[in-house]
Structure 1
Amino acid sequence: MSAVHPNAWAAEAIRRVRADGPGSVPTPLRALPMPALEGVDIYFKDESVLPSGSMKYRLVRAMFCHAIASGEIAADTPVFAATGGAVAVAGARFAKLLGLPFTAVVPAKTPATLLARIADEGGQWQMAQQPPAAVQEETRAVAARSGGYFLDHFSDAERAMAGWDGPTIVDEIFAQLKSEPRPVPEWIVTGAGTGATSATIGRHLRRHGHPTRLAVVDPEHSAYFPAWASGCGDYATGMPSRIPGIGRPRVEPGFIPGVINLVIPVPDAASVAAMRRLHTEAGIEAGPATGTSLWGVCHLAARMRAAGSSGSVVALIGDSAEPYRETFLRAEWLRARGLDPEPYEADLARFARTGEWPTAG
């Protein structure tokens, strides 16, 4: 491999990364029946079927291609990530595909199920020596000492996605809706972790002149809603989100407020209630961030109903329920954290039955 010219290796590496996964087959678009909402069609774009099981797969794929093309990842470059979550799982997968060592520096309380997923994809992990707020800088230093590449998804994912020249998730959504009764969605709904997905969607809608609006749902303790509402670009809460994959204690560089039409704050217990309802009523086994999105979808559908308007709303399934069997899907775990989904479950059941949404929701 070392005898291969660096440019030839880079071209082949990018080809392998781009060829991984389902290819031209889009992730499924699943309808969510809501009989009380005549004229409003709800869909969930199921990103959990992507090879690493999460929508972060798209971000990490673009980041690897960008880093290879920029000369930051070469044939012998070790790759590091500062997370035990979905980014690390996808990073381990792409590193293994290229024959590169991969290490995730993980916070101390990372669940064993997530560590196992990193290992299943061929990666290694090591426990961080610093508190969660300092894991990014700790990993950057570890990568520098090893001559490796730091997969900084908070700083680099949005830039990499902006340079991605393949089909986007929005291209897939519009192609899949062509044969549906309302082919141009009124709203697309997503959460924000790095901010790269909302930036990708918002830029696409503006670039192509679509009338579709973009809503971001935001959990408790996250900085994105107050930052968007106040216009304060460096807003910080200093508190971590409890909903995996979305919400941040500070505004990350990839969050682009100018392409977002609405940010909807969602109580964490409401996210859990909505996740559980998707499981029991729709057979969609998605993670808690998808519950956050469903709560936001109901909020928007209620607004449309009150205004007498019709249309479709599309939200994203970020990951499956599988990693959360011992946490968000266990009543004891929820009680220990003061999360009581029952009042919100009653709100969701009433909304499904009557179309009436709580005014404070």
Structure 2
Amino acid sequence: MWTERELMGSSPLHFVYPPGFHDVHIVFKNESASRTGSLKHRYSWALIMWALLEGHVKNGTHVFEASSGNTACSLSYMCRVLGLKFTAVVPDTIEEIKVKRIERQDGIVIKVPISNRLIMAETLARSSGGFFMNQFKNAFHAEEFHDSGSSSKPSTNLFHELINQLDGVLPGVFVHPAGTGGTISSVGRYIKKYGLKTQIVMADTQYSIYSDYVLNGSFSSQTGSHHWVTPGMAGIGYGAMGPAKIAETTSLDPAVIDRILKIPDLASTAAMRVARELGIDGGTSTGVNFLAALHLASVDQMRPITIATILADSGKYYESTYLNREWISDKFSVHGGLPVYDCWIQVIKNSYLNGDDPLELGNTKCSVVNFR
């Protein structure tokens, strides 16, 4: 596993200097450059390492996971490296390109309705004597948030790696959404433990329950599934998967989050398109991150400022969905479809060039009621 970690190296940085914002640098840590094409490569390494150390995974263990695609692809890679059998339980709405990526790593794919993923993966693992990795629960334990002390091995924390790449320059803000909650929590716990001054901002998707969970704890005994409106943003947000409880059904640590932003799903989809045109070719979370970063640049008066975020996976995985106008027209019809989508594209482009707040303008100009 340490040989594999050395092969990973450090994912590259992509710098963006929005012309409308003086002395604002947005830096994307490009995790799509990993060996399995997403942020989940380092994440899966941490999960497997934790499972090995805790004795959950041994020679011959059949590993199961519930995933929207990226974690499954990376876990199947790690299991192949170790000679282990792997089965991914994925939503039946998964993009076919993600299925093929999992199968290329010798993973087995089982499709189920999105709300049944965790139950099915756990049931299959128990009935076969395998191990359910359960990233939603166990990322809280697996993702490191400490330095490596006197060890010759460097810390595997993403933020530790980032500030080394920035030659010690500390970002003013780190922004990212929550899927399992593991990445933003591990970054936040690292920052809080070492007293760093970077603000942690969670960009929550429109119908996710995470913002209420962080702010109020109001979904600790409710599923929130009735709040979920399809299609959502693939792989991020939280909806129909049971009560949100830290280290049980989610790895999101509310204590390390400084601010919450709610980002409309169709706005995030539009931001994917604008970002791609600017050379930031990322997926759903990258759209959320880009839009959130522009908003933060518009409201934060500190200058100069570096806003750090993640390019979590490649836009090529979403060619048939979130980057496809016909799909957007169909799946996002309840949100206003292409007229609202095109409105958001123009707002985001203007914000990038002129320094306007894209969320303030977009929520007014691109409201569904304006296009009825």
TM-score bracket relative to the smaller structure: 0.7 to 0.9
- How many Å separate the matches in 2 of 1:272 and 1:288? 7
Which of 275, 286, 289 is the aligned partner of 1:290? Answer: 286
Shift of 1:106: 2.5
Which of 92, 97, 100 is the aligned partner of 2:81? Answer: 97
Which of 235, 238, 242 is the aligned partner of 1:245? Answer: 235
Which of 268, 271, 275 is the aligned partner of 2:268? Answer: 271
Name the counterpart of 1:125: 109
| Aligned-partner residue type, residue 156 of structure 2 | P
Name the counterpart of 1:349: 349
SS in 1 for 2:143: helix
| Aligned-partner residue type, residue 20 of structure 1 | E
1:292-341 CA distance string (max 9 Å, x none) = 0111101110012xx35331101111100111111111100000012432
User: Which residues in structure 2 correspond to 1:55-74 (within 5 Å)?
Assistant: 55-74=39-58
- How many Å separate the matches in 2 of 1:25 and 1:68? 22
1:2-38 CA distance string (max 9 Å, x none) = xxxxxxxxxxxxxxx2322554731111111212211
TM-score (norm 1): 0.88
* 1:333 counterpart = 2:327: yes
Shift of 1:194: 0.6
Which of 179, 188, 191 is the aligned partner of 2:177? Answer: 191
| Aligned-partner residue type, residue 228 of structure 1 | V
- Whether the 8 Å contact between 1:22 and 1:50 is mirrored in structure 2 is no
TM-score (norm 2): 0.85
Q: CA RMSD in A?
A: 1.9
Shift of 1:58: 1.9
Shift of 1:279: 0.9
SS in 2 for 1:142: helix
Name the counterpart of 1:301: 297
Q: Tell me, which stretches of 5 or more residues in structure 2 are unaligned?
A: 149-154, 364-372
Counting matched residue pairs gives 337
Name the counterpart of 1:134: 116
Name the counterpart of 2:308: 314
Name the counterpart of 1:6: none
Distance 1:245 1:106, change over 3 A: closer
SS in 2 for 1:245: coil
- How many Å separate the matches in 1 of 2:183 and 2:313? 14
- How many Å separate the matches in 1 of 2:83 and 2:214? 41
| Segment drifting more, 137-146 vs 187-196 | 137-146
- Whether the 8 Å contact between 2:294 and 2:352 is mirrored in structure 1 is no
- How many Å separate the matches in 2 of 1:177 and 1:163? 19
Which of 212, 216, 224 is the aligned partner of 2:198? Answer: 212
Which of 245, 251, 275 is the aligned partner of 1:254? Answer: 251
Distance 1:24 1:146, change over 3 A: closer
| Aligned-partner residue type, residue 174 of structure 1 | I
| Aligned-partner residue type, residue 178 of structure 1 | D
Q: Tell me, which stretches of 5 or more residues in structure 1 are unaligned?
A: 1-16
Which of 211, 219, 227 is the aligned partner of 1:225? Answer: 211
Kindly, what percent of the aligned residue pairs are identical?
A: 27
Name the counterpart of 2:163: 174
Which of 70, 76, 79 is the aligned partner of 1:86? Answer: 70
* 1:38 counterpart = 2:35: no
Shift of 1:100: 0.9
